[in-house]
Amino acid sequence: GPGDHRRDDRTSAQIKQEFENLCRDSKYTEMLSSRQRLPAFSAKDEFLTLLDKNRVVVVVGETGCGKTTQLPQFILDSLIMSNQGSTASIVVTQPRRLSAISVAARVSAERIEDGSVGYAIRGESKQGKNTKLLFCTTGVVLRRLGSGDTLDNVSHIVVDEVHERSVDGDFLLLELRELLKKTSNIEGCPHVRNDQSRNVYQLLWRCSSFNYSWLHTHPVTDIYLEDIIPLISYRPSAPRTSRKESGEVLQAFREEHKSKGLDDASISAIQIISRSDRLDFQLIAEVVRHIITDPKNKRGGVLIFLPGVPEIRQCMDAMRTALPGGQADVFPHPSGKSSPPLMSPETSITIDDVIYVVDAGKVKETQYDPDTSMSRLVETYVTRAAGRQRRGRAGRTQPGFCYKLYTRKTEANMGKYPVPEILRVPLESISLTVKVMREEEDVKLFLKRAIDPPKVAAMEAAWTVLEELGAVDLNGKLTPLGRHISTLPVDLRLAKMLVLGTIFQCLGPVLTIAACLSSKPLFLTPMDKRDEASQARARFATAGSDLLTDLNAYDACNKMRAEGKSHGAVRTFCEENFISPNTIRDITTLRNDFIGSLADLGFIPLHSTPSTAALNTNSDNTNLIKAVVLGGLWPRVARVHLPKSAIKFDRVSAGTVQRENIAKEFKMFDLREGRVFLHPQSILFEVAQWKSPFLVYFHKHMTSKVFLRDATEIPLYALLLFGGPVSVNHVAGGLTIGTKESWIRLRAWPRIGVLVNQLRRLLDAQL
Ligand code: ADP
Ligand code: MG
């Protein structure tokens, strides 16, 4: 539990005494009086009574009512006051690292830093022997469960934000249910009032659960697109890309709005806006202008909900133009999933002063298609549940207004609740975690017990990936490699790459590559300066590899720092070369995270750094680095179909191709997809001399065609050594690489195949 290693040596009586002293502290009482204004306080007694009678309580309440910060304190205080302080140990999970830290800081401040509050996130924790309330990420608790901890020392566990339906959150609930089943009978007496809790929790727990709808908010007036347009007389300028609708639908739309007294111009405007696939920033700016210039309106904050950071930037630009003369101070709120962008007409305003909400109605969401194992980021309408949350922000302190940039009809067609993440993402990581935690169990059967069981195809695809990675063997048994990579906080392929990079002593560059692939693009490509940007990137081109090119650029920045160049000089260098300084910083952080995790695993000595000499004996060996990259990414391999005259690839041999020919005759075939295309920004278009007709890639995206990103040309020897099992084809006197796909055929002596297989067995033994 909290303070695991160091014991709280106080008795319950002493703890109670200290708490009573704290309660007399003037700072504490001051804090308390503001806490008492939160809606959660009015439900305190009811909550504690329910908790007393039930092992599981489900709490539902609007954002800001005090669930996260207050409920854990209610539990702790009541334990302390009933002389159970010495056994109190409350774990509160948070979906994100940042929220674990900031919530812990807030609660600690509310308790005047009395040492009872701590946090634990991967690689970082702050707790002492008196810690009773521990805020940690869901992942931390999952790993504790995974290492066999049955949470015997924990008196209460609070699982926060379960409605987000993240894979981790869903999985934690599943594990906790299993744990509870062992120790008590939680079946029976379902008692659920609220719809969503019925869906999610009753199915899962079949237990007594309760909800509060306890936020006393002020009324919020909804103003929909069809109400807004006549108010601001806005006419969208150019026709946009739009969805096709039949003449009848359009006609019906017109009739309906005409009957409500709307003029033709307004109806057209509404049609154009609501059929457009893109956000109309000018519209948003006009709405804000209307809000802050209409003399009938009250003064107060305007909170705008947008789908992402680029949209915030575009919206700010539009508002600066539309609101001249310092009418408004516009600033983006430090964003994150739960903290939306705040744009407010008064600088010193806090989020509590919001009276107006402008909801653009869109979110960005990664959608994954298990059938093609491809994901894409799409902008979709928010769910009605999320829309309600956004709207609720307007009525915190006084009656408010919500301007919805969509029609009533659109709202009626929005989904009710978000699609659970488990149905939207690849499942290899979660499958491996399940396997590690329940080695004897069938992972697919276990996942079928999830709140929303994933598709069978998705589970099978995930299992295949685990086999290909070597994380499980063909008998379904967990391998040592699988156990190792499950504990590294990164995509499983990159985790394997890190393990290989350690074994082959080229860790520095592999750390950078894995960090690059986990970050936003290193090179910026502004729309209006595409050519300049790609020329800049080409200056770093090396070794027929997008990854090694990025590595090259990162190293160049790093070298400048190491040589003591000024901050400004580095920044200028980045600007001139279209390198993102933010990504450079992210990569540096990630490299340190990764090396810390490898040290935790015991792979490398503690206190190693990315440049520790013993880890980098082979860091200059480009071919070896490429082999390690392939080892992680296999079987994401494509065969390049180069002109016959230019290359012979039926032998282990090299060929030369003219650049023009590549552009013309560059055909590629992927193991699974058939014809694929190299992303236009790939540095591989610069390669004049191909050493082999194979490349390995990280991302595959489907737009108009299937595009491969982050590609690396790979030497044939690397393919032999790291490219899946090798079978010897005696009849043809050749080798076949990979079990399921056989198009990688090399003519070679069967003896080489035998040798390669021996080497691979040695390697597997190492792993
Ligand atoms: P919930 O979890 O129900 O959404 P929280 O417990 O996170 O609500 O927050 C309750 C209230 O505490 C918020 O409405 C806010 O006013 C206040 N609060 C939370 N964090 C802070 C902070 N860091 N500083 C000041 N007030 C805060
Ligand atoms: Mg909360």
Residues 6+ apart with CB under 8 A from 274: 225, 406, 407, 410
Please report which ligand is nearest the Cα atom of 72. 1
Q: Please determine, for residue 198, whether its predicted confidence score (pLDDT) is greater than 60.
A: no
CA distance 669 to 635: 13
3-state DSSP percent of the chain in helix, strand and coil, to 5? 45, 15, 40
| Unique residue bearing structure tokens 């390049």 | 640
Q: What pLDDT is attached to residue 646? A: 47
Query: What digits encode the pLDDT tens for the residues 585-603?
Result: 889 988 998 998 898 888 8
Element holding 268 (H helix, E strand) = helix 264-275
Q: What pLDDT is attached to residue 109? A: 95
Best residue among 58, 67, 68, 69 to mutate for probing ligand 1, ranked by most atoms within 8 Å of CB = 69
Confidence at 674, pLDDT banded by 50, 70, 90 = low
Structural tokens at position 36: 């008492």
Q: What pLDDT is attached to residue 328? A: 58
Which among 510, 536, 515 has a CA at the least distance from the CA of 681? 536
CA distance 56 to 53: 9
What's phi and psi for 713, nearest 5 deg? -70, 140
What's phi and psi for 136, nearest 5 deg? -140, 165
Confidence at 24, pLDDT banded by 50, 70, 90 = very high
What's 589's DSSP letter? H
Q: How far is the CA of 96 from the centre of ligand 2 (A)?
A: 12
Query: What digits encode the pLDDT tens for the residues 100-137?
Result: 999 999 999 999 999 999 999 987 899 999 999 999 99
Among the listed ranges 150-164, 242-256, 699-713, which one has the minimum average pLDDT value?
242-256
> CB–CB of 373/426 below 8 Å?
yes
Average pLDDT, the chain: 80
State how beta strands 726-729 and 694-702 pair: unpaired
CA distance 458 to 438: 20
Among the listed ranges 117-131, 506-520, 726-740, which one has the minimum average pLDDT value?
726-740
Q: Please determine, for residue 249, whether its predicted confidence score (pLDDT) is greater than 50.
A: yes
Q: How far is the CA of 693 from the centre of ligand 2 (A)?
A: 53
Which among 464, 470, 517 has a CA at the least distance from the CA of 696? 517
Element holding 653 (H helix, E strand) = none
CA distance 322 to 288: 9
Q: How far is the CA of 64 from the centre of ligand 1 (A)?
A: 5
**What amino acid is encoded at 548 in this protein?**
L
Q: How far is the CA of 424 from the centre of ligand 1 (A)?
A: 30
- Interface predicted TM-score of the whole assembly (ipTM), two decimals: 0.98
Residue with the smallest CA separation from ligand 1 atom 13 is 64
Q: What pLDDT is attached to residue 193? A: 39
The closest-lying atom of ligand 1 relative to the alpha carbon of residue 352 is 16
Q: Which residues of 297-315 are buried (b: 16+ CB within 10 A; e: fewer)?
A: eeebbbbbbbbeeebbeeb
Encode 496-537 in three state secondary structure: HHHHHHHHCCCHHHHHHHHHHHCCCCCECCCHHHHHHHHHHH
Which among 464, 460, 484 has a CA at the least distance from the CA of 474? 464
Best residue among 94, 106, 117, 337 to mutate for probing ligand 1, ranked by most atoms within 8 Å of CB = 106
Which among 392, 400, 403 has a CA at the least distance from the CA of 298? 400
Confidence at 373, pLDDT banded by 50, 70, 90 = low
Q: How far is the CA of 65 from the centre of ligand 1 (A)?
A: 7
Task: Please compute the mean of the pLDDT values over residues 534-538 and round it to a whole number.
Answer: 87
Q: What pLDDT is attached to residue 709? A: 86
Structural tokens at position 504: 């082959």
The closest-lying atom of ligand 1 relative to the alpha carbon of residue 65 is 3
Please report which ligand is nearest the Cα atom of 396. 1
CA distance 16 to 11: 9
Among the listed ranges 174-188, 490-504, 547-561, which one has the minimum average pLDDT value?
174-188
Q: How far is CA 369 from each of CA 194, 447, 458, rounded to the nearest angstrom?
A: 32, 18, 8
Pure H helices in 276-368: 281-293, 309-322
Which among 546, 542, 723 has a CA at the least distance from the CA of 627? 723
Residues 6+ apart with CB under 8 A from 582: 520
Distance in Å from the first CA to the final CA of the chain: 33
Q: What pLDDT is attached to residue 372? A: 55
CA distance 611 to 561: 14
Altogether, the residues listed in the chain come to a count of: 767
Burial of 438 (0-12, 13-18, 19+ CB in 10 A): middle
Please report which ligand is nearest the Cα atom of 94. 2
Q: Please determine, for residue 339, whether its predicted confidence score (pLDDT) is greater than 60.
A: no
Confidence at 179, pLDDT banded by 50, 70, 90 = confident
Longest dimension (CA), the chain: 89
* Most confident of the ranges 161-170, 257-266, 474-483: 474-483
Residue with the smallest CA separation from ligand 1 atom 27 is 106
CA distance 270 to 283: 11
CA distance 251 to 551: 57
Q: Cis bond leading into 643, ω under 30°?
A: no
Please report which ligand is nearest the Cα atom of 351. 1
Q: How far is the CA of 166 from the centre of ligand 1 (A)?
A: 22
> CB–CB of 506/139 below 8 Å?
no
- Residue 204: count other Cβ atoms within 10 Å of its Cβ: 20
% of the chain surpassing 90 pLDDT: 28
Task: List, in sequence order, every beta strand (DSSP E) within 238-334.
Answer: 301-305
> CB–CB of 418/386 below 8 Å?
yes
Confidence at 670, pLDDT banded by 50, 70, 90 = low
What's phi and psi for 621, nearest 5 deg? -90, 95
Among the listed ranges 45-59, 115-129, 515-529, 671-685, which one has the minimum average pLDDT value?
671-685
Q: Which residues of 274-286 are buried (b: 16+ CB within 10 A; e: fewer)?
A: bbbeebbbbbbbb
Q: Please determine, for residue 751, whether its predicted confidence score (pLDDT) is greater than 80.
A: no
Q: Please determine, for residue 615, whether its predicted confidence score (pLDDT) is greater than 90.
A: yes
CA distance 327 to 329: 7
| Spatial strand order in the sheet of 301-305 | 220-223, 400-404, 354-359, 301-305
Q: What pLDDT is attached to residue 499? A: 94
CA distance 472 to 479: 5
Residues 6+ apart with CB under 8 A from 324: none
What's phi and psi for 132, nearest 5 deg? -115, -25
Q: How far is the CA of 59 from the centre of ligand 2 (A)?
A: 11
The closest-lying atom of ligand 1 relative to the alpha carbon of residue 396 is 14
pTM for the full predicted model: 0.71
Task: Please compute the mean of the pLDDT values over residues 707-711 and round it to a whole number.
Answer: 86
Residues 6+ apart with CB under 8 A from 626: 543, 545, 548, 696, 712, 713, 714, 715, 718
Higher confidence at residue 649 or residue 406?
Answer: 406
Residue with the smallest CA separation from ligand 1 atom 5 is 66
Please report which ligand is nearest the Cα atom of 212. 1
CA distance 654 to 664: 20
| Unique residue bearing structure tokens 């279209």 | 578
Q: What pLDDT is attached to residue 108? A: 96
Q: What pLDDT is attached to residue 214? A: 44
Distance of CA 666 to the CA centre of its chain: 34
The closest-lying atom of ligand 1 relative to the alpha carbon of residue 351 is 16
Structural tokens at position 432: 């491996």
CA distance 272 to 225: 11
> CB–CB of 678/707 below 8 Å?
yes
> CB–CB of 393/349 below 8 Å?
no
Structural tokens at position 431: 């499958």
Burial of 762 (0-12, 13-18, 19+ CB in 10 A): exposed
> CB–CB of 642/693 below 8 Å?
yes
Residue with the smallest CA separation from ligand 1 atom 24 is 106
- Residue 393: count other Cβ atoms within 10 Å of its Cβ: 26
**What amino acid is encoded at 141 in this protein?**
V
Q: How far is the CA of 160 from the centre of ligand 1 (A)?
A: 14
Burial of 701 (0-12, 13-18, 19+ CB in 10 A): middle
Write out residues with Cβ below 6 Å of ligand 1.
38, 61, 63-70, 106
Confidence at 246, pLDDT banded by 50, 70, 90 = low
CA distance 633 to 586: 22
| Unique residue bearing structure tokens 């090119």 | 549
Is the CA virtual torsion 392, 393, 398, 401 positive or negative?
Answer: negative
Higher confidence at residue 607 or residue 308?
Answer: 607
The closest-lying atom of ligand 1 relative to the alpha carbon of residue 61 is 3
> CB–CB of 459/442 below 8 Å?
no
